[in-house]
Structures are given as structure tokens and as C-alpha cells.
Amino acid sequence: MRRQHRCPPRLGEPLLRTHFRGLRLDSGQGRRRDRGSQSRGPAQTLPTIPEIQRVLGPVLEHKNLLVMDPRGMGKSSPLLCQGAGIDKPETIAACAKSVGPRGAYFTADQASHDLDAIRRALGVGKVSYYGNSYGTLYAQAYAARYPGRLDAIFLDSSVIVDRDGYASWENYWSWRRQFDLVCERSAACDALPGSASGTWTRLVDRLREQPDSEVSVFQTSALKRMSEPVFGREATAAANAYLRGDPAPLHRLARLIPPTLPPANDPYVAGYLGFRCGDGTFPFDRLASATERQAQAKRYYERVRPLAPYQISDIFPGIGTVEPCINWPTPRHSPPRPPEQALPAVPVLVMAGSLT
């Protein structure tokens, strides 16, 4: 029978490898010590252990599962800002000010050193790295800095890294592109009339003109998993059926989603912003002031309209911007994957995404 237990040490690591005072790292450990994992987020990882175990399944008969909460999350020196929220942009600048300069060091490049400190403390040799969603960015950061410590990489829903080494958030909201990519790769979806993006545009237009009490425009926008191959195919088929007079499939999906955006309630919002803002590239200058960033982002969204067929007010009523990082300073050069840095020559499996 497999045993599970917490790692006995709570490690103290430098905030930056050569600066600042130490931080605490919290991790969970199983029986065999050769698989590292981080998933979703940026967010706490330890609470997702049951889900990770379910995904990996029989792999854990041969591999131990070692999971670390990223710095700034859970018990790993959490960054806390009382009352702050990404749905309350007026609180973000105040949160950044209260966190101070240390907020620039809660990033994937530094988290990769944290994970390797745990590996060394446990006396583990090479590991296989499993990352899901934001965890795939951690995996790439770790692989770039510790290539000799990996024997395999498994990326699920991979984050794309631009040539500058930062995560590509600029096109994060390009939903029309996501719809079409998913459908192009599915024979069943590709066989539906028209393009997937055209189907969703017509659906949103229909719901604006003829509101439906069982499915709101927001609920269709909240089907965020439509960028995943199977769900995206089924969601697009439901949208197509709705336009042809059969609302039942879309109504079933809508019942899984609240009719409006729930209030954000994340105690680790500062940690989230530290990673997302420090790790990404945006349609604004990382070193510009918040006022300049706002103007640059506004011009970009007006020109490119990445949210189309949606409007910002459909998704974030009252906010006026989809990008909370406008108000979070990013003074430090911290690409998760240094430009031109090759990944190690080890087996890599990528699911529901791509790796460049």
C-alpha cells in the first residue's frame, strides 16, 4: 500500500539567490522520491494533490509524488493583502505598495530554485516533472536552470513562452483563435458548418438580441475549458445546435456556471499577481508607469479586440480592463525561460497545448 506523509523539513531559502531574508517552503511527499509536480494557478498546489494523483494514476505505483506550494502561496511565505482582489483594480496598487520590493521576487525563475532546494534536502537525484496549466511554466523554468536534474517532462495544458522568455499573456484572451485551433484539430468539430469563432460570434449576437433566461452571455464566456480539445469540441457543437434551434445542449452546460462573475475571494492574490505579472509579457511596457500601461493596453484592446465576440463588461462588469497587472510593478528582469535557452534532451509529453 502506498504511504503518504508531509516532508519533515520546512526549508528556509533566500528570497533571491543573493538578496533578502529567507522564506519558508511547504511541501508534501509520498513514498518514492522521483516525481516533482506543480499544477494550475499560480495558486496553492498542495490542496490539488488528490486531483494530481487521479491524473497520474498508475504512474504513482512506480514514481513518488513530491508537491510544493509555490512561494507566496499557502504556508510557503504567503504574500497577503487584506481586501485586495483582481476584480477590484483600485486595490492592486495599494497591495503592491504594501508588499514592497519583495513582490518582484515571487516569480517562476525563483520558484525553480525553491523546488531544487527541496530536491537536494531530500537527497533525490533526477526527477520527472509533471506540470498542469501554470505548473507547465514552472516546469520550463526548472528545466532551463536544472537540466541535469530531469529525466522526463510531462506538460498538461502548456503555457506558451515567447521569444523573450516570458509567458505569452498578450494573446491570453484571444478566444476566437482558441475556438478555431480546437476545431481545426477535431474532425467532428471541423465538420460543423462555418468556423468555430464564427459560430460563437453568432451565438453572442443572438443572445444580445434575444436574451435567454437559461443561458447568459457571461455564461457562454465562462466556458473557459473550450480551449481544451474534448470540451471545446463539445461546447462548439452545443453552440451550433443552439443556433439551429436546439438549445438543450447549451442549457445543460450553462447550468454548471453561475449567471454572473462571483466575487473574487483569493487570500493569496498578492502571490498570484507576483507570479502572473512578473512571469508574463503584456501589450504594455513592463517598466512603464501604471498610467502609461493603461493607455498602451487600451490602444491594444481597441485595435486587436482579443475578447471578441465579447466585451469587457460581459465578463468583468465595472472593471474596465481585463489585465490586473497594469497596476502591479515589474521592475526586475525575470524571464521564466531565458531567451535562447534550450530545454534538456529528455523525453517530453505535451497534452492540450504546445511547446516551442
What per-residue confidence (pLDDT) applies to 1? 39
Question: Is the pTM above the cut of 0.75?
Answer: yes
Answer yes or no: are the C-beta atoms of 344 and 140 closer than 8 Å: no
Q: Report the pLDDT averaged over residues 246-268.
A: 82
Choose between 324 and 331: higher pLDDT. Answer: 331
> In degrees rounded to 5, what are phi and psi of residue 27?
-145, 160
11-16 and 19-25 beta bridge pairing: antiparallel
pLDDT of 28 over the 70 cut: no
Q: Are 131 and 336 in contact (CB under 8 A)?
A: no
**Pairwise CA distance, residues 220 & 211, whole Å:** 12
pLDDT tens digits along 226-254: 556 677 788 889 999 999 999 999 999 99
- Which residues is 156 bridged to in the sheet? 132, 351
pLDDT at 142 over 90: yes
Query: Measured between alpha carbons, how far is 90 from 226 in angstroms, rounded to an integer?
Result: 31
What is the pLDDT at residue 284? 92
Assess whether pLDDT exceeds 50 at residue 144: yes
Q: What is the pLDDT of residue 175?
A: 67
CA separation, residue 299 to residues 174, 241, 306, 309 (Å): 16, 36, 12, 18
Q: Which of 108-117, 151-160, 175-184 has the lowest mean pLDDT?
A: 175-184
How many CA atoms does the CB half-sphere of 130 hold within 13 Å?
A: 21
Question: In the structure grid, which three cell numbers stand for residue 308, read together?
Answer: 471578441
Query: DSSP letters of 78-95?
Result: ----TT-BTTBGGGHHHH
| Helix (H) / strand (E) containing 13 | strand 11-16
Q: What is the pLDDT of residue 229?
A: 64
Residue range 3-21, pLDDT digits in tens? 454 554 455 656 555 333 4
Three cell numbers written together for 254: 450553462
Average pLDDT over every residue of 135-155: 94
Going through 143-251 in order, the beta strands assigned E by DSSP cover 150-156, 167-168
Asked whether the predicted pLDDT for residue 53 surpasses 90, the reply is: yes
Residue 279 has a pLDDT of 96
pLDDT at site 206 = 96
Cis peptide before 42 (omega within 30 of 0): yes
pLDDT of residue 131: 92
Across the range 319-329, mean pLDDT stands at 79
Query: Is pLDDT of 263 > 70?
Result: no
Q: What mean pLDDT comes out for the span 66-81?
A: 90
Distance CA 69, CA 90 (A): 28
Compute the mean pLDDT over every residue in the chain, rounded to the nearest whole number.
83
Q: Between 317 and 163, whose confidence is greater?
A: 163
Average of pLDDT values for 137-157?
94
Residue 321: burial class (beta carbons within 10 Å; 0-12, 13-18, 19+) = middle
> How do beta strands 35-39 and 66-68 pair?
parallel
Contact between 45 and 86 under an 8 Å Cβ cutoff? The reply is no
Name the pLDDT band for 169 (thresholds 50, 70, 90).
Answer: confident
Kindly indicate the confidence band of residue 313, based on its pLDDT and cuts at 50, 70 and 90. confident
User: What percentage of residues in the chain have a pLDDT greater than 70?
Assistant: 81
- Per-residue pLDDT at 259: 75
Crossing angle between the packed helical segments 269-279 and 108-122, to the nearest 10 degrees: 110
Contact 63, 35 (CB under 8 A): yes
